[in-house]
A and B are shown apart, each in its own frame.
Chain A
Amino acid sequence: MKVILIVLPVAAVICGICTGRLPEVSAAVLDGAAGAVTLAISLCGIMCLWSGLMRVAEECGAVRVMSAVLSPLVNFLFRGLEKGGRAAQLISMNLSANILGLGNATTPLGIQAMEAIKQEEGQPEGAPASDNMIMLTVLNTASLQLIPATAAALRSARGADSPMDILPCVWIVSAYSLFIAVAAAKLLAWFSRRKDSFDADN
């Protein structure tokens, strides 16, 4: 993150000098600062509406229902965890919160799930990440969210005719990348196991 914050402005200044567009770059600084506030205000209404609705859904037990649906899938993706144990439950809840787009609930649940996996697998301090930990993290880096609320809010702020018309595309892209994420994680886990047994043989 720090690197990005340095790279972007430095690249802009160097490029601005080369193309002779420094006056525009300078103007962009002031425009950007003002634009951020306008953008935040135009986002604010939909963010509030969405968080409010999702809180109601949460109170209705949406996470619990979704976790129950997901639990067979969790047992399939995460090997060697106790079925219905604390870790498996937290993983299901983290994935459910992700799917429902409960931004504020997702990360705490994910962190608790990571701790629960660590505890259940009883890894020593300083051990590398386990396959299950990587699976959980990779699932969280792929976007599981069903309704792209922020993207839709931004689109309507910019005057898109029908902000949700990207929904089929978003679902297709999410599904593909999710599938590839799981496949890549499983494949790389298999490779690293093979490498370990190869090293042990020699």
Chain B
Amino acid sequence: MQITDLFIPLIFAGILIAGCAKRVDVFRVFCDGAADGLKTTADILPALVLLLVSVGMLRASGAVELLTGLLEPVCGLFGFPPECMQMVLLRPFSGSGAIAVYDGIAAEYGADSLPERAAAVLLGSSETTFYTIAVYFSAVKIRRTRYAVPAALTADLTAWIVCGVTVSLFFG
């Protein structure tokens, strides 16, 4: 057993106990939230169809292998599996795209393989950078975002490098 196996049951029990202690109507509130989860899943389905098809086409065409081969020397420097470069490139633009890419990598290399883990770590530790910037600044009608994009991309670049180093350290 690993310590990380404890997290899910602990969070589950902890939140329910806290809910009861605070006299929250746990059942009703939970069902409300779960219905929201259902809606979220239904909402991403149309985008998921489009992106799973696009990413699938790209994989089948051999374009991904081409890219992988091209970027292998760079990724090798810090142990990042080059198979996951598609994730690095698509993640800042599209959340559904990142899910599609993750699923493709997991299907091809298998669960608990190094590329699968690296893709999952990147999925869990970065955001759809360009989408977020677009939403936040258009909400306040600002066109000139100054250094927002460079600063955000520096962070994404860091995530890529540190992901390579930690995944190969923990699971390599």
Contacts and interface: CB of A to CB of B under 8 A. Distances in A.
Interface of A: 1, 4-5, 8-9, 11-16, 19, 21, 24-25, 27-29, 31-33, 35-37, 39-40, 43-44, 47-61, 103-104, 107, 110-111, 114-115, 117-118, 125-129, 133-134, 136-138, 140-143, 145, 147-148, 150-152, 154-155, 158-162, 164-174, 176-178, 180-181, 184-185, 188-189, 191-192
Nearest to A31: B56
A129 B142 contact: yes
A15 B62 contact: yes
Interface residues of B, number: 101
Contacts of A28: 53, 56-57, 59-60
28 contacts: A1-B94, A11-B63, A16-B61, A29-B57, A40-B41, A48-B41, A50-B37, A52-B37, A53-B33, A56-B16, A56-B30, A57-B18, A59-B22, A60-B19, A60-B24, A142-B126, A148-B123, A155-B106, A159-B111, A160-B112, A169-B121, A170-B124, A170-B125, A174-B159, A177-B159, A180-B155, A180-B158, A181-B155
A154 B104 CA distance: 11
Given A158-B107, A160-B112, A176-B162, A47 B37 contact: yes
Contacts, number: 343
A101 to B, nearest CB: 10
A21 B120 contact: no
A176 B159 contact: yes
Contact of B120 (A37, A104, A151, A172): A151
A48 B34 contact: yes
Contact of B125 (A14, A173, A180, A191): A173
A32 B52 contact: yes
A23 to B, nearest CB: 9
B140 A118 contact: yes
Name the 3 nearest CB pairs between A and B, nearest first.
A55-B33, A148-B124, A51-B37
Given A28-B56, A40-B41, A155-B106, A147 B30 contact: no
B15 interface: yes
A175 B120 CA distance: 16
Contacts of B111: 155, 158-161
Interface of B: 2, 4-5, 7-8, 11-12, 15-16, 18-19, 22, 24, 26, 29-38, 40-42, 44-45, 48-63, 66, 90, 93-94, 97, 99-100, 102-103, 106-107, 111-112, 116-117, 120-133, 135-137, 139-148, 150-152, 154-156, 158-159, 162-163, 166-167, 170-171
